[in-house]
Chains A and B, each alone.
Chain A
Amino acid sequence: MHDPAAPDVDDQPFAVMDCALITIASGVRAQNLKEFREGLLKAPLGSLDHHFWGRLLRPQFDEPEYNNDFASWAWRGLHDKELAERLSMVTPTNYPDQESLRQEVLEILEQRLDERELVPWAMADQQFQFLFSQVVVFDTGLRCTSPQDLAPRLRSLSTGSIYYHFIDARNRTAERCDDFSVWLTGCGDKGRGLAARMCGIDPYFSSLKELRQIIAGLFEQFFPERT
């Protein structure tokens, strides 16, 4: 796939992209744990991305109890804390593709169904709705030739840009990492140092606005404004 944000050569500028997501109902719903397992098999594979990551671009408070929709429903809908805890530790980037990720989630559900004597049910108005997203990616036209050039612009990037470069990149890049880190590895020792720090940011526990602050702060620390 063409990826303008990930340069092949060291002197390629960083192309700032932006994206917008819109949610689509898959029509697959679950009322209990068994239906949830079946739903996971029926729903489009893209629903995994939506339920693991898309929440960052949807209305939610920035201190979620669990870090993906599956875990949240296991707790809020089924009141199954063990299941919620296990699902919350599934990290999508640990799996080579969405099918492997789905298999991992299915394994956890199967294990829980084996453990439970009764299938847990959610209340009638607490069904899990499998959703997926349509992502529209567009080029902002902004190009940054160096980290010094990019650093002062980061705080004014849209949350869509942060999502694209910091979250979505994990599905696009060979390194399964964010676009900033990939680009910075071609920007000398200092760039590589910053890239290492960027890779250490856990994207699960911050809103996109907070991630923007964290990323901008790190850039400013490594590449302070020239005076």
Chain B
Amino acid sequence: MDEEIIQEYLQNFVEEYQAVTGSTVIEHLRQLAAPLQGATVVHVNSTREGGGVAEILQKLIPFKQALGIDARWEVINGSGPFYQCTKAFHNALQGNQVAIPETLLREYEATNVKNAEILRELLETADFVFIHDPQPAALLASCPNRKGKWIWRCHIDASHPFRPVWKYLRQWIVPYDASIFSLPEFAQPLPHPQYIIPPSIDPLSEKNRDLPEAETREVFDRFGLDPELPMILQVSRYDRFKDPLGVVEAYRLAAKLTPLQLVLAGGGASDDPEGVAVLEEVRQAANNDPNIHVLLLPPDAHRTINALQRAADIVLQKSLREGFGLTVAEAMWKGKPVIGGDTGGIRLQVVDHYTGFLVRTPEGAALRIRYLLHRRDLLEEMGSRARRFVWENYLLTRHLREYLTLMVGLHYGSRERIEVPPY
């Protein structure tokens, strides 16, 4: 009976996606998964809630199960110093010069050994093990009798890592059978294949699913916005690399000629001293302008963000540096043209002049804001192209297809061309 309920749940789960992507995409996934029937796949990361990795795994695991793969998700546990260490890894991979004390590194290693003791049997017998980010990367060293393929998935912008920390981490990564990076620029010299798989958005998540019109309109009242005034929006942490001050400047330049309002929506910054400082700078720059709305939203305000993106006329992501910038795909999925910084993964999503504009200065952003608000026909056209672009390229189903392709590829050897026998 339990098995029946699970199967029914999985069936409904796939049908929901089929309603969004169409049946051809789902059939393609089924056929690609055929050689992997019954394979044991274990994903390991360090948190079950919060953050992009957990969000993706919450959907990827049942999707794989629905395709006949025995997919599981394990989470490692650690102490405060362990997370202190892995937070430092994260910052260092993104290029910050972080000196990590030896004591923290020993804690990192001990935590991985301890978790390996709990997970060893599962990991050593699995056909595929996906280790997400640096936190559980050292598990492999404690699984000497592993029989399957081990893949390290790096979700971080590692294009310019702080070298001493990368050198330390590299020793744990080298023995893997493959690694995955989000962009070619993030790949590092390693003695195994480095696959490139960009991230994706989940069209059925709270952040992206369709909302009733009333819920979208409600944000105007809730945040004191003017429903008659065009609205530009940037959703991002209060971080200098996201250039919120540049966005305020772009707004001011555009507002001289075009009436509009700006909404900056970002997450809580209480645990991030720099975030608090940047937020304060943004508030000062806003200078009590009634048409600049600086919002501080809780981390679980997914539906609010969704509604704000739908209520906006134009979405900005004027980052000076960006890993991938999935907020861009989120906005595009809602049919909004995006004016984005000409950097990192934004370049893959914003096709200049087609799905939005790539800019390098506040002046460039202001020009494009004025242009789009003046040419409503083009704004609408770009928005619908943007949605189609995301539908074709950045949904979870594409992400899953690439995971399946990788697994089939590793299963049959690392040849450039693999012809799977009929199933």
Residues in A lying within 8 Å of B, measured CB to CB: 2, 18, 20-25, 27, 44, 46, 58-61, 63, 125, 127, 129, 131-141, 156-158, 160, 209
Contacts and interface: CB of A to CB of B under 8 A. Distances in A.
Given A20-B401, A59-B392, A61-B354, A136 B28 contact: no
B181 interface: yes
30 contacts: A18-B31, A22-B195, A22-B197, A22-B406, A23-B195, A27-B189, A59-B198, A59-B392, A59-B393, A59-B394, A61-B389, A125-B185, A129-B185, A131-B184, A132-B416, A133-B416, A134-B405, A134-B406, A134-B409, A134-B414, A134-B417, A134-B418, A135-B416, A136-B32, A136-B412, A136-B418, A137-B417, A137-B419, A138-B419, A158-B25
Of the candidates B184, B187, B404, the one having the most CB atoms from chain A within 10 angstroms of its own CB is B184
Given A25-B196, A131-B184, A136-B420, A160 B28 contact: yes
A3 to B, nearest CB: 10
Given A27-B187, A61-B354, A61-B389, A137 B193 contact: no
Contacts of A22: 195-197, 402, 405-406, 409
Interface string B385-398: 10001001110000
B288 interface: no
Contacts of B344: 125
Given A20-B32, A125-B185, 19 more contacts: A2-B419, A18-B28, A22-B195, A22-B409, A24-B193, A46-B416, A59-B198, A59-B392, A61-B385, A125-B344, A131-B196, A134-B409, A135-B417, A136-B409, A137-B417, A137-B418, A138-B32, A138-B420, A158-B25
B280 interface: no
A138 B196 contact: no
A207 to B, nearest CB: 8
B375 to A, nearest CB: 19
A79 B95 CA distance: 29
Interface string B189-218: 100011111100000000000000000000
Sort chain B's interface into a size bin: 35 or more
A67 B341 CA distance: 25
B179 to A, nearest CB: 9
Contacts of A60: 351
B21 to A, nearest CB: 11
Nearest to A134: B409
Q: Which 8 A-B pairs have the closest CB atoms?
A: A59-B393, A129-B184, A25-B187, A61-B351, A23-B196, A138-B420, A22-B405, A20-B405
Chain A at the B interface: mostly helix, strand, loop or mixed? strand
B348 interface: yes
A158 B389 contact: no
Interface in B16-75: 24-25, 27-28, 31-32, 34-35
A138 B408 CA distance: 11
Interface of B: 24-25, 27-28, 31-32, 34-35, 181, 184-185, 187, 189, 193-198, 343-344, 348-349, 351, 354-355, 385, 389, 392-394, 401-402, 404-406, 408-409, 412, 414-420, 422-423
B355 to A, nearest CB: 7
A158 B354 contact: no
Of the candidates B402, B404, B419, B420, the one having the most CB atoms from chain A within 10 angstroms of its own CB is B419
Contacts of A156: 24
Contacts of A139: 420, 422
Nearest to B354: A61
A136 B420 CA distance: 7
B422 A141 contact: yes
Of the candidates A27, A138, A156, the one having the most CB atoms from chain B within 10 angstroms of its own CB is A138
Nearest to B343: A125
Contacts of A140: 31
B32 to A, nearest CB: 6
Contacts of B406: 22, 134
Contacts of A158: 24-25, 27-28
Contacts of A125: 185, 343-344
A95 B198 CA distance: 33
Contacts of B404: 20
A75 to B, nearest CB: 13
Contacts of A134: 405-406, 409, 414-418
A177 B114 CA distance: 58
Contacts of A137: 417-420
A21 B32 CA distance: 11
A32 to B, nearest CB: 17
A138 B34 contact: yes
B181 A25 contact: yes
A32 B189 CA distance: 20
Contacts of B32: 18, 20, 136, 138
Given A127-B185, A139-B422, A21 B405 contact: yes
Contacts of A59: 198, 348-349, 389, 392-394
